[in-house]
Structure 1
Amino acid sequence: MKKIIIAACLLAVSVSVFAQSGTNSPYSQFGLGLLSDQSTGFNRGMNGVGFGFHDHNQVNVKNPASYSALDSLTFIFDAAVGFQVTNFNENGIKKNAKNADFEYAVGAFRAARHVGVAFGVLPYSNVGYNYSNTANVNAFSSTQSVNPTYSNTYSGDGGAHEVFVGVGWQPVKNFSFGANAGYLWGDIDRSVVNSYSDSYVNTLSKYYKMKVKGYRLTFGAQYTLPLGKKDAVTLGVVYEPGHKTHTDPECLVVSSNSQTSVNDTALYSIKNGISLPDRFGAGLMWSHLNRLKIGFDYQLEKWGSIGMPQYQVTNNVASYSLVGGTMKDRSRFTLGGDYCRGERYRSLFSRIHYRAGLSYVPSYQTINGVDGPKEVSASVGFGIPIINTYNNRSILNITASWINRSATNLIKENTFMFTLGLTFNERWFAKFKVE
């Protein structure tokens, strides 16, 4: 019991140190930001594949039905940090940005025969950007004979995170189901600050703020079909119902003039203005001798039916309301695999897990009337067992990932990410006899 309390304290510390932003991408200014894949160390080595995977010594939050496969008499705690470098390229102009972020912290244990419980904190979205543009006004100033310039500075930071608890149960052989119940929270701040070289011109700046809060429910099921003595195929499905959250996005509009020092402000708000979409996922995992595992996942999020808050001026009338058509349904295709010769072998190289994966996400954002970026990513990873006098079941998960976001006539991004995770697997619940 004391060790469970210690683990809960570690999780609380993890929540408190979660960074509010783990990106520098200008594309994070749309929607709720860049959406996280919500995967743990062993999933990330396969680029996030996991709907059909279940493992006895790893926490697979992609499908809560997988918790039923956890080892008995053990407690698993998994946490990771990430480091990334991103190269931005627009019309031949290149810039680099660096980030470091606390990625996730999850724990799991078997509560009863064929019943597993998991809990933890995961990222949901990230917002982080800061850039500006400058142009001529295209009209002569009323006080000068030169054409003044204006600039808009766009900035934003924050994100949303989820704390959850889940349970998975295997009522009959080869079939299991489960559910995660989570609470979503976070602050997302964005701004567009307008300024002119001519101080007599009024500036118009907009400050957007939302305190994200709401619940999430995810349901999952897995069925394993044996194919002889050496092979098996597992089908996994997940479903998350969409709903409105208790989030009231706000927009503060400030019109000011540095000569008169007069500021006119207007505050707009939308009650329950943020919704989460219906989410569907399905995946297959083929296992050979429980050594080689290859999986394919498809995920669909119905963002296209959800309106996003926008400030607009029509016929000199300003409004802040939900506008549809800014996003489309988001699909994700992922192929990945894991190979380990066998955990019973003495050789370290025979016990290492070798992982790799590929993903593709078509464009689901609309930016200035054109399709936003599509995303292509790849990863390689290793699960290295930690063997010492006290422990031989913990795993060091190392993943290197590449993410490319590109669209015609828009910014191109190349991100290289390194994730370092540690899965503690301790024998907590065994009763030892003293002779």
Structure 2
Amino acid sequence: MYKPFRLLICATVLCFAQAVQAQNIGNSPYSRYGLGELNTNFGNIRTAGMGGVGVSSGSSFQPNTANPALLYYNSITIFDVGVAGQYKTVKNSTESQKDGNANLNYLTLGVPLSKRWSSAVSLRPYSNVNYEISSVGSLPGRPEAIIVNEYKGEGGLSEVYFGHGFRIAEGLTVGASASYIFGTITQESSSIVADTSFRDLELQRVVYSERTRYNNFLFKTGANYRKKLKDKAFISAGAVYTLNTDLNAKRNAAYERRTVSEALLGPPMLTDSLEGSVNVPSSLQAGLSFDNGSNLTIGAEFFAQDWSDYKNLDGEKELGNSYKVGLGAEYTPNANAIDSYFKRITYRGGLNYGQTPFTVNGENIKDMSVTGGLTLPVGRGSFYEMYQLNTAFAYGRRGNTDNGLIAENYFQFSVGVTINSRWFVKRRIE
């Protein structure tokens, strides 16, 4: 027990240190709106490889935070950590650029508390903001004077999750979770005027900067029912309802004069602060899955959240209705095979299609992708501990280049480690 326990502590410290840094995912222009680009993978790398399907597909060896009711199936202590990144091409009708980055995906520790009760704590991103947009034009009536407008944003919100799953009756489990949402988003807009007729004029940037801090609690309830149809045939139905909440928000704003290299020229001007709240709407996630009780799972899922009533601190509406449909499966040829390592690998695949909450130029931004993934057993494993290396990937497209919009073609990847350990069993022989 002690060797993996030391490993858990070291990994936790390293990942937490990484988590408190800015959550960048490469240039994402649509993260300019609302609370940024929302994290729609509520589970782990397993669910990411299955097209995001997770609320009805429990696992004994993977903590399922997508539906707290499924935590019940974790009968031994589980530590799960993952990192995620993406490489994307961002383009409009005339230009394109490539971006990429990686960061902490989640950090989860699941612990069984009794035969009918298991719990989990998790740290993961809730939203990400990272964009940089620029435009170049000329002043009316003075073509030798060029004006450069830039818009930048960074930061995001994090989530500390605490969930519980309970068995109520044969096949029926329920769960609930509380999350603390917190973080800071910084957004800036600036202008530079360069007049070629004045060669010795030092260029200056006029910047309007907003720094907004958010925090409050978010609550979820979940349920799952699994029924045996016949030998090696089970069906499960699961659902999660997230209650709406008002995030406390405090914004500090100011105008600044800076050099091209971002050095400040004097103190901030016209400083202002505003306190209020923004509403995170309720959401519903429901799914069905089929499994044979051993090595095959197939599932489908639907998620809906209506952001059309969301208003920023200025009272402006800038989001719309969102939904997502997913289909996924996983298969392990033979988890106990000794003649072939490849038979012990778990293979996953999936598809998802959805509408993001971003509405730009009167058009709803769609997102679609194909996913895949593997779980690779590490070492021989034993009654006391088992190690797994998890991977997932997705190739997809968000938005399009019509009507002045921006399209993002992306390749996302995730990699992580899951450690299953029996903490409270005393060994007779070391």
- CA deviations 1:60-89 (Å, max 9, x no partner) are 110000011112xx3211111223211122
SS in 1 for 2:315: strand
User: Contact 1:76–1:109 at 8 Å: present in 2 too?
Assistant: yes
- Residue 373 of structure 1 and its aligned partner are, at CA, apart by 2.5
User: Contact 1:256–1:263 at 8 Å: present in 2 too?
Assistant: no
1:327 counterpart (319, 324, 341): 319
Q: Which residue of structure 2 lines up, in the alignment, with residue 35 of structure 1?
A: 38
Specify the code of the residue in structure 1 equivalent to 2:28. S
1:273 counterpart (259, 277, 280): 277
1:185 counterpart (173, 179, 182): 182
The correspondence of residues 175-254 of structure 1 with structure 2, limited to 5 A, is 175-198=172-195, 205-253=207-255
Distance 1:275 1:298 in 2: 22
- Residue 178 of structure 1 and its aligned partner are, at CA, apart by 0.7
Matched, 1:348 2:338: no
SS in 1 for 2:71: helix
The correspondence of residues 63-78 of structure 1 with structure 2, limited to 5 A, is 63-71=67-75, 74-78=76-80
Distance 2:6 2:279 in 1: 35
Q: Which residue of structure 2 lines up, in the alignment, with residue 403 of structure 1?
A: 396
The total of aligned residue pairs comes to 413
Distance 2:124 2:281 in 1: 18
Query: Closer, same or farther in 2 for the Cα pair 1:161/1:54, shift >3 Å?
Result: same
SS in 2 for 1:42: helix
- CA deviations 1:328-355 (Å, max 9, x no partner) are 1211111111111332333322221110
Matched, 1:22 2:5: no
Q: Which residue of structure 2 lines up, in the alignment, with residue 315 of structure 1?
A: none
User: Contact 2:323–2:355 at 8 Å: present in 1 too?
Assistant: yes
SS in 2 for 1:304: coil
Query: Closer, same or farther in 2 for the Cα pair 1:165/1:364, shift >3 Å?
Result: closer
Q: Which residue of structure 1 lines up, in the alignment, with residue 365 of structure 2?
A: 373
RMSD: 2.8
Gap regions ≥5 residues in structure 2: 196-200
Distance 1:12 1:200 in 2: 46
Query: Closer, same or farther in 2 for the Cα pair 1:403/1:268, shift >3 Å?
Result: farther
Distance 2:246 2:118 in 1: 30
Specify the code of the residue in structure 1 equivalent to 2:325. F
SS in 2 for 1:11: helix
- CA deviations 1:172-231 (Å, max 9, x no partner) are 110001111111111211101112225899986321211121111111110112211221
Q: Which residue of structure 2 lines up, in the alignment, with residue 169 of structure 1?
A: 166
- CA deviations 1:330-387 (Å, max 9, x no partner) are 11111111111332333322221110111112243222x3225211111110111113
Specify the code of the residue in structure 1 equivalent to 2:411. F
Q: TM (normalized to structure 2)?
A: 0.88
Distance 1:28 1:34 in 2: 5
Matched, 1:291 2:295: yes
Q: Which residue of structure 1 lines up, in the alignment, with residue 414 of structure 2?
A: 419
- Residue 239 of structure 1 and its aligned partner are, at CA, apart by 0.9
Specify the code of the residue in structure 2 equivalent to 1:245. L
Q: Which residue of structure 2 lines up, in the alignment, with residue 137 of structure 1?
A: 139
SS in 2 for 1:177: strand
Query: Closer, same or farther in 2 for the Cα pair 1:11/1:256, shift >3 Å?
Result: closer
Matched, 1:57 2:54: no
Gap regions ≥5 residues in structure 1: 141-145, 310-320
- Residue 12 of structure 1 and its aligned partner are, at CA, apart by 4.7
Q: Which residue of structure 2 lines up, in the alignment, with residue 108 of structure 1?
A: 110
Distance 1:120 1:148 in 2: 53
Query: Closer, same or farther in 2 for the Cα pair 1:103/1:361, shift >3 Å?
Result: same
Distance 1:257 1:7 in 2: 46
Query: Closer, same or farther in 2 for the Cα pair 1:64/1:264, shift >3 Å?
Result: closer
Deviates more, 1:11-20 or 1:418-427: 11-20
Distance 1:130 1:52 in 2: 39
Distance 1:264 1:169 in 2: 54
**% same residue:** 25
Q: Which residue of structure 2 lines up, in the alignment, with residue 157 of structure 1?
A: 154
Deviates more, 1:172-181 or 1:269-278: 269-278
- Residue 264 of structure 1 and its aligned partner are, at CA, apart by 8.4
Distance 1:366 1:255 in 2: 32
- Residue 58 of structure 1 and its aligned partner are, at CA, apart by 0.4
SS in 2 for 1:305: coil
Distance 2:5 2:173 in 1: 25
1:364 counterpart (346, 354, 357): 357
Distance 1:427 1:257 in 2: 58
Deviates more, 1:399-408 or 1:247-256: 247-256
Matched, 1:148 2:137: no
User: Contact 1:363–1:371 at 8 Å: present in 2 too?
Assistant: no
Distance 1:255 1:274 in 2: 30
